[in-house]
A and B are shown apart, each in its own frame.
Chain A
Amino acid sequence: MAHAIKCINVSKQFKSAGYAAVDQVNLTINEGEFITILGSSGSGKTTLLKMFNRLYQPDSGQIILFGEDINSIDVIKVRRRIGYVIQQIGLFPHMTVAQNIATVPQLLKWDKKQIAERTDELLRLVDLAPEEFKNRYPHQLSGGQQQRVGLIRALAVDPKIMLLDEPFGALDSITRTNLQQELLRMHRELKKTFLFVTHDIEEAFSLGDRVIIMNEGKVVQFAAPADIIHHPADDFVASLIESARAKQTFWENYDD
């Protein structure tokens, strides 16, 4: 199986901080995997993610995408090859849904017909009827619909890798569960490599084929959910699982 992403001794320290945001990270992600990156705020998970599309530059180490060092590829090209979804969604408020989705295809000079077909196809992928939603503006959509558009906008030019930075963090729990299911379905159908950052342990374990757990800039464990649950690598991971179980007991108190 091809390696989608490989990190070799990747470190990054912000100028104002006295510690490394990402500290000597080594990992290999296979093509087609759904990887979740779990950590609390300040653990370095978002910093790590943003190095993959060169929004941040590592101080040292090497990041390799499909065999190519990302520093050897033009930064604009790297970004256009990678889908990027953020929590605040960042739809362009002055553009319609269709225009938002068409952004990267237009930058790549696709022809109009191709763009229109692709837009409809993508809208159907997330169950938004093209005729109804194409010409709406972002403010005319609900939060869940906005993030659906955010997702398909990132998918527009069929990138092999999707980076998702807490994409459902600002949504209510029902919308969130629906979108999680849709995302899993999309992953099965599209066979892309997904990297999904979250601070929610249930989200990380239920979505990820493998989970990267980060603490203080380091990867403390990188394994399948079942392995992590049965063999936590250290006290931090054990306490994470403990806290999730405590929540579960809360619900069990109401089952009888």
Chain B
Amino acid sequence: MIEYWIKYHDKMITALTEHMIMVVTCLVISITLAGVFTVLSIYSIWIRNGLLYFFSVVYSIPSLALFALLIPLTGLGMTSAVTALTFYNQYLLLQNFISGIWGVDESIIEAATGMGMTRFQMLRKVQLPLAHRALLAGLRIAAVSTISIATIAASINAGGLGSILFDGLRTMNVVKILWGSILSIGLALIVNAVLSFAERTIT
């Protein structure tokens, strides 16, 4: 194990970096999109339910199948991977964002409406600040799930830690499989711990 690390650590660090770039890119795009969708969702219950329904259907597509579906559109590589991962994240993020902003006490919403806040003012001044716990929880779940699903993206040449795992599987190299697993699990655990800590300290 250790020998393998000494010999190939450049390669593994490259894979880890690729993996993190993929995850961070995807999270930035996902959060921006989910933010836009959340704002849209406050204006109509149809938009809200439509979005949740659409992304829950997408979420139920197995990841390998979704990657394969995207190849004709965005080709092999990182673009397809990030696109697919962003689709998956929408469900996780929207679910948390929307339930967070509607979980605010009804009397507070009523008072805010009666005072003459517009829908957007209410979102910005009342709902978002009160929902920050749910927003952070959504972010954490999305981050962890992206880290794990991103390993499968190696199947469409997107690189990342998945490439170590897939190589290991192909050549039946247990050490390689183990290193791939340890790095991706470790990354997920660390990110989860950091974001949980953030959730607890900010509130």
Contact = CB atoms under 8 A, between A and B. Distances in A.
A86 B110 contact: yes
Contacts, number: 59
Given A93-B130, A94-B129, A94-B130, A88 B107 contact: yes
A159 to B, nearest CB: 10
Interface in B95-117: 105, 107-117
Given A90-B107, A93-B108, A107-B121, A79 B113 contact: yes
B132 to A, nearest CB: 9
Interface in B69-110: 105, 107-110
B126 interface: yes
B82 to A, nearest CB: 35
Interface in A58-94: 76-80, 84, 86, 88-94
A80 B108 contact: no
Given A92-B126, A93-B130, A94-B130, A79 B116 contact: yes
A76 B118 CA distance: 7
Contacts of A89: 107, 111
Interface residues of B, number: 18
Interface residues of A, number: 23
Contact of A84 (B109, B114, B118, B121): B114
Most buried by B among A88, A90, A150, A154: A90
B114 A104 contact: no
A103 B115 contact: yes
Given A76-B118, A107-B121, A91 B111 contact: yes
Contact of B108 (A55, A90, A104, A163): A90
A107 B116 contact: yes
A79 B111 CA distance: 11
Interface in B105-161: 105, 107-118, 121, 125-126, 129-130
A119 interface: no
Contacts of B129: 94
A53 interface: yes
Contacts of B116: 76-80, 104, 107
B126 to A, nearest CB: 6
A90 B130 contact: no
A107 B111 contact: no
Nearest to A88: B107
Interface string A144-155: 000000100110
Contacts of A104: 115-116
A75 to B, nearest CB: 8
A48 B121 CA distance: 26
Nearest to A104: B115
Interface string A88-130: 1111111000000001100100000000000000000000000
Interface of A: 53, 55, 76-80, 84, 86, 88-94, 103-104, 107, 150, 153-154, 163
Nearest 10 pairs of A and B residues by beta carbon: A90-B111, A88-B107, A79-B116, A84-B114, A80-B116, A90-B107, A94-B129, A76-B116, A90-B108, A104-B115
